[in-house]
Every structure is written in C-alpha cells, then in structure tokens.
Amino acid sequence: MSSTLKVGLVGWGAIGRVVGTALARQDVPGAELTCLVDNRPLGETAPAPQVSFEDAITRCDLIVEAAGQGVVREWGERVLTSGTDLLVASTGALTDDELAKRLLAAGPGRVFFTGGAVGGLDLLQAVRSFGPLDEVRLTTTKLPSTLEQPWMDEELLARLRAATGPVEVMAGTARDVPVKFPKSTNVAASVALAVGDLDAVRVRVVADPAAERTRHVIEASGPHGAYRFEVAHVPDPANPATSRVVPYAVLRSLAALAGRSGQIL
C-alpha cells in the first residue's frame, strides 16, 4: 500500500458528499480522494474523476461504501478478492449470514465497518471478549415519514401518518429489522456486530411525530455489568432517514485507517 491512502468513494448522497468534500479538501491526513462511483452523472460538481466500479477497484487502496446495502451485496466480495480494502457504512447488509461469511473469508483485501450513528460499540466488544451478555436491547425512534416502507399495509401506513404520539412500528431481532428498513436501521446491525450475535439483540422501531432528533437507546446486561447508551442526533436535512453525524463517523474511521496518530481506537 502507498504511503498515502488512495480512496474510492461509492455514492454521492447525503453521506458521500460530506465525506468526498472533506477528502478533497485534504481534511484527513494521509488519505486522498482518487475517484467517485455513482449511478448518476455528477458532471463538474464531482471533486474527483467519476469512474466505473471496476476502474475504482484497480485505482484505489480502499473503497468506501456510502450508497446502501445493495452495493455491499453486489460488489463487496469482488472488492476484497481484488486485494482492495472495503469500509462499509451500510452494516445492515451483514444481517445476511451467507454474505457476512463470504466477506469475512474473502481476501486479500480487508473489510472494515464504521459505527455510524451509535456509540458504545467498542465497550460492547470488550465486554463480549470475557463473557456473553444476557440481554441486549435497542430502541430506535424516528419521524414517521422516514420509516414508511413499500411492504407496509394501508392500516399501518394510516397509523403512522395519523400518529400524535409514539407508535411501535416493528419489534424483532437485529437479523429481522434491518431487512425491513434498509435505509434506517443500520444501527441494529452495528450493535449486533459488536455483540457477535444477530439474534441476541432485540430491536424496537418507534415512529414519533415529535422526534426532532433521531434517538437510539442501547441497553445491555450480563453477569459482568450493565450498560446503557443513548444518543439523539439531528437528522440530515437532505436525507432525514440518516443522521447528520454519520459521514463524520466515516471520516473518523478513514483517519484511523490512514494512520493518523493520537486516535482513540
């Protein structure tokens, strides 16, 4: 790998624009934006050449996925087998056990995950290393409009649209929920990756018309202790389904991969 990390960015949406602009400004020491991949023509607004996915893989040391779970499913294994590393923002794709196994087994490229909109994952990983957790719960609360999905029946949609207070939209495991909300519940998959068990994480998705901020509450307990993390993020104005902090979590991960000193890892 070269001394400067050559980064290819997939996706020029709410996450990608912030990440790409920061890289183009050289805000991440040791990393440079080499190229962009998007299914729309970006024209002169792009701060780096727009290329095909195949071309990006050959040009770059690291591919950053900022375009959704489908990209991870379609391209993840191919990136890794080419020898290029992959940083995944859409961790919900890893609820597919077969895909997760293939990605973790593929190489020589390495796969990394960013924590995105939630904290405490490093502590959950540390706790898991000396014993299983008895209970892990995640409650995610968002504006109703960000949770509407094509699979919902008219009754549920009507409840969401007429809600005057919190409404439980779905309850299940971290295996079930991200599949139903592919753009809104990557946090559930991230918690499950930290805990090491998709089925151990119980998830509630709540719609609340008063939710000016997207809220995630993680509660975990076991014989070695009890833990509670709560975050409340401002939604991204361009895409309220994601929190405004997510691209900055990606940038932090990039800084760690680029080798910037002084990081808390």
Write the DSSP assignment of 93-107 as a string of letters: GGGSHHHHHHHHH--
22 pLDDT higher than 80: yes
pLDDT at position 60, please? 96
Query: How does residue 47 score in pLDDT terms, banded at 50, 70 and 90?
Result: very high
Q: Which of 59, 10, 2, 55 lies closest to 31, judged by CA?
A: 2
pLDDT at position 118, please? 82
Question: Sheet of 111-113: strands edge to edge?
Answer: 31-37, 5-10, 62-65, 85-88, 111-113
Residue pLDDT, tens place only, 124-175: 988 888 888 889 999 999 999 889 999 999 999 999 999 999 999 999 999 8
Looking at the annotation, which residues are catalytic? 216
Residue pLDDT, tens place only, 208-228: 999 889 999 999 998 889 999
pLDDT at position 37, please? 95
pLDDT at position 1, please? 45
| Mean of all residue pLDDT scores within the chain | 89
pLDDT at position 12, please? 93
Q: Are 206 and 218 in contact (CB under 8 A)?
A: no
Sign of CA dihedral 166, 172, 175, 179: negative
Does residue 197 or residue 241 have the better pLDDT?
197
90 pLDDT higher than 80: yes
Give domain limits for the chain.
5-116+245-258, 121-233
121-233 shares the fold of 5-116+245-258: no
Identify the three-state secondary structure at position 47. Answer: coil
230 pLDDT higher than 90: yes
pLDDT at position 183, please? 76
Residues of the chain with pLDDT > 90: what percent? 56
Distance of CA 180 to the CA centre of its chain: 15
Residues 99-115: what's their mean pLDDT? 88
263 pLDDT higher than 70: no
- Phi/psi class of residue 116: alpha, beta or left (left: φ > 0; alpha: ψ in -120 to 50)? left
Distance of CA 5 to the CA centre of its chain: 21
pLDDT at position 181, please? 87
Does residue 104 or residue 21 have the better pLDDT?
21
Query: How does residue 261 score in pLDDT terms, banded at 50, 70 and 90?
Result: low
56 pLDDT higher than 60: yes
Fold of 121-233: Dihydrodipicolinate Reductase; domain 2 (3.30.360)
The CATH number of the structural domain formed by 5-116+245-258 is: 3.40.50.720
Q: What CA–CA distance (Å, rounded) separates 190 from 187?
A: 5
